[in-house]
Amino acid sequence: MSSIADNIDTVRRRIERAAQACGRDPGGIALLAVSKTFPPEAVRQAHRAGQRAFGESYVQEAVAKLAALEDLRGDSEWHFIGPLQSNKARLVAMHFDWVHSIDRLKIAQRLSDHRPAGMADLQLCIQVNIDAQPTKSGVAPGEALALATSIQGLPRVRLRGLMCIPAPQQDPARQREVFARLATLLQDLNRAGMDLDTLSMGMSDDLEAAVAAGASIVRVGTAIFGARDYSS
């Protein structure tokens, strides 16, 4: 059985090959290790292997995990990537460095209100429902500019870019086409006056397509930590 360190090395090599295949610098693509449902020791193993950015989706679990990993806090970066309810925004604002799943202004406002003044600005991405899935969170592409414009006026947060979670696709060409739509939307927002630099897209099964379409952050969990057990 491969170790977490081996898995991280394998994923990093996949990113490097995918970047080289489309003429990109691999250094411009960050690996976010999605540690949700995995124990603090798994994060420690990843950290010992050189991984520094971690993604969580469940607020209570994440806060408890961060407390258990307090000694790593100064040498790690924490990203909230799951759906966020307004009543959990205070905890996320106090504990995380990034939030990828902004889908309405109310959440961004709550995060802005609760971000401690002594902390660096909270980095935000708008989640876009890029392929109109009826059960997925995220704004419609046509609503992204209005939301981005509103967020840019908030204190203690900084809007960085867009995130998507498309429906699973087996065809790499179809994967790339969907991710390319998010990349085009980012370009459209920048032409409209935004200053965005982040595309959070791609997971264990489709990171190559995401890299080819311009991803700057890929969110990888299963390929690093193994299959998740949601029974608890």
Task: Specify if 123 maps to a domain.
Answer: yes
Note the pLDDT of residue 188: 98
CATH, residue 149: 3.20.20.10
131 domain-assigned: yes
Cα(197)–Cα(177) distance, integer angstroms? 20
Residue 229 has pLDDT above 80, yes or no: no
DSSP β-bridge partners for residue 162: 126, 199
DSSP string of 155-167, one letter each residue? TTEEEEEEE--PP
* Rounded Cα–Cα distance for residues 135 and 214 (Å): 26
Better pLDDT: 145 or 136: 145
With 90 as the cut, is the pLDDT of residue 64 above it?
Answer: yes
Which has more pLDDT, 61 or 134? 61
Expressed as residue numbers, the domain containing 98 is 4-225
Token reading at 141: 């592409």
Asked whether residue 232 is assigned to any structural domain, the reply reads: no
> What's the structural domain count of the chain?
1
In a domain, 95, yes or no: yes
- Residues across the chain: 232
pLDDT-derived band at 202 (thresholds 50, 70, 90) equals very high
User: How confident is the prediction for the chain on average, in pLDDT?
Assistant: 96
**Are residues 148 and 126 in contact, defined by beta-carbon separation less than 8 angstroms?**
yes
CB neighbourhood size of 211 (10 A): 28
Indicate if the pLDDT at residue 228 is higher than 90. Answer: no
State the average pLDDT over residues 98-126: 98
Any domain includes 231: no
pTM for this entry = 0.96
- Does the pLDDT at position 108 exceed 70? yes
